[in-house]
Structure 1
Amino acid sequence: MKTIHLYAILLLLCFSTQIFSQTKSISLDNSDLKWTGKAAFSTYALTGNLAFKHGEVTIKNDSIIDLVISVDMTSLEHENKTLKSHLRSEDFFEVKTYRTATFKLSQSSKIGNGPFEVVGYLTIKDITKLKKFSVALNNDYSILSFNIGIDRTEYVVTFNSPSFYEKLKEDAIADIFNLAGSIEFH
């Protein structure tokens, strides 16, 4: 009799964990990712697009307990074909070699009313750094939005960086680039 009760309790625990935990996949068609790069010493800025490749979020008890997002670096776009080609080259993101960039949550994050922080590993060009980003989720946890800055030099993207080439003037490119977007999960 005790064995039956123990199995019933274990089954109930397994079932309740599944009820309060939900995993959602990214909707590639309804998600948006824009990059912005700026000049280091002027207000000149350029913006283009990237596409998500894959993504999943697991939410349990009002916390994100798992988040994995992959970006297809071969999707890097800009209306200027020369710039697009240059950004895809060895001077910048080497997309023929490094086709994917990823973010993987390293610790659970309590979902707040408004922006909250996620901490995880960002990998660009096979270089992984622990990062903290501010994000927001809508009320039904279906859309994650963000506007974050990333220091490209941490990922050995140093072309025309004022941190590496001190004598640059108007050709200097700011070390920080921005990624902004929204990820819809279903």
Structure 2
Amino acid sequence: MKKLLLALMLHSPLFAGTQAATWKVDRDHSSVGFSVTHLVISEVEGNFKNFEGELKAAKPDLTDAQIHFSVDVFSINTGNDPRDNHLKSKDFLHAEQYPKMTFKSTSFNRITEGKYLLDGELTIRDVTKKVKFNVTYGGTAKDPTGKLRAGFKANTYINRFDYNLKWDKMTEAGGMVVDKMVNLELKLEFIKE
């Protein structure tokens, strides 16, 4: 069974041959979202409209993948202009001084079929921290124009205080108005170049 799986992977259209393939994220079919608990009782969601990403790998199991990603902080959108402006201010992302968030992978380990653990360095404002993303690989498909596409979902939690997003107020009951833990969820479709 293992030999059959290896043979299938070696003949996968995703990474045929040994030369590294380059894939670029398709913004029209991807999203970079986040959610955070508000007033201890509910969640507020948002996303970033503008981002770029690239994946390079030669191995069919993706374990040599090198992933780079950047997000335009000014493109944050929660559906509420005053809140978005506050998130872009010095209290949070300080977009004027730090207009980009970036991620660079350090390893991409296959856990089981279709499941990976992505390690890398996430930079927000002037702080870079190691993070781990749980990744689900959805497979590949050719679009109507014949281009090969690959789909992934990735998520992690970060402590916003670690990145100097330290604005904080307490509710009357003593809970945080905006929780310190933020869920990041990316749904990404890449196109092979």
- 1:147 partnered with 2:155: yes
Partner of 2:165: 157
Superposed displacement of residue 89, structure 1: 0.6
RMSD: 2.3
Task: Choose from 22, 41, 44 the match for 2:42.
Answer: 44
Partner of 2:104: 104
Partner of 2:55: 57
Partner of 2:26: 27
TM-score (norm 1): 0.79
Map 1:60-139 to 2 at 5 A. Answer: 60-61=58-59, 62-64=61-63, 65-110=65-110, 112-139=112-139
Contact 1:135 1:146 in 2 (8 A): yes
**Partners of 2:175 and 2:128 in 1: CA distance:** 31
Contact 1:31 1:52 in 2 (8 A): no
Q: Which amino acid aligns with 2:31?
A: D
- SS of the aligned residue for 2:94 comes to coil
Task: Please tell me whether Structure 1 or Structure 2 has the larger radius of gyration of its CA atoms.
Answer: 1
List alignment gaps of at least 5 residues for structure 2: 1-16, 141-148
**Partners of 1:132 and 1:78 in 2: CA distance:** 25
Q: Counting strand residues as a fraction of each chain, which structure ranks higher?
A: 2
Superposed displacement of residue 60, structure 1: 2.4
Question: CA, structure 1 residues 69+111, in 2 after alignment: closer, same or farther (shift >3 Å)?
Answer: farther
Partner of 1:177: 182
Superposed displacement of residue 134, structure 1: 0.7
Aligned-pair identity in percent equals 27
**Partners of 1:84 and 1:31 in 2: CA distance:** 21
Contact 1:111 1:137 in 2 (8 A): no
Q: Counting helix residues as a fraction of each chain, which structure ranks higher?
A: 1
Contact 2:49 2:77 in 1 (8 A): no
**Partners of 2:185 and 2:116 in 1: CA distance:** 15
Contact 1:63 1:111 in 2 (8 A): no
- SS of the aligned residue for 1:104 comes to strand
| C-alpha distance after superposition, 1:52-91 (max 9, x if no partner) | 4211111222124200111111100122211111111100
- SS of the aligned residue for 1:169 comes to coil
| C-alpha distance after superposition, 1:137-156 (max 9, x if no partner) | 11227111123211101101
List alignment gaps of at least 5 residues for structure 1: 1-15
